[in-house]
Amino acid sequence: MSDSRILTIRKSDNIDDINIMFPLVFFGESHGYPLNRILRKIHSAPEVFLGVYPNTFPHTIREYFWIRPGKPGERPWIALGKLEGDIYFLYSAFMKIPSKTFVNNGHMDLWVSPRYSDLIQYAMDAAFYQDYISNTSNR
């Protein structure tokens, strides 16, 4: 059975970047989440690309397409959008224990690609994709 997915850009009606700021505060070397630890490889993305734009994440976020607020210990924070240079990103962060912070208590992932379709096809599992489709539209 094939997994047919919508590969065009879809967006949320209401995007408030404050809903993703909490986990992004813990991104970086000093908090244990440097780029080289959270960057996930997409096999179709060119290797030369992977060393260029992600190094400035999250400071080069140009647009968010979808943000799902997380809840510590229950569900991850998710952000999907575009970086400067027309590079697309998918970021997720999860806290294991709700009463602590991300320091030694969480997990972060970042996928980047010059092709939006790579994120939809290769970075999202079925449940993740269904949540994305349910909370976005072609507008």
Over residues 84-133, the pLDDT tens digits come to 888 899 999 999 988 888 888 899 999 998 899 999 999 999 999 999 99
The pLDDT, as a whole number, for residue 41 is: 86
Distance from C-alpha of 1 to C-alpha of 52, rounded to nearest angstrom: 37
- The predicted-structure confidence for 50-79, as pLDDT tens digits, reads as follows 445 556 789 889 999 999 999 999 999 999
Cβ atoms of 7 and 123 closer than 8 Å: no
Distance from C-alpha of 39 to C-alpha of 54, rounded to nearest angstrom: 8
pTM of the model: 0.89
- The predicted-structure confidence for 9-45, as pLDDT tens digits, reads as follows 999 999 999 999 999 999 888 888 888 889 898 876 6
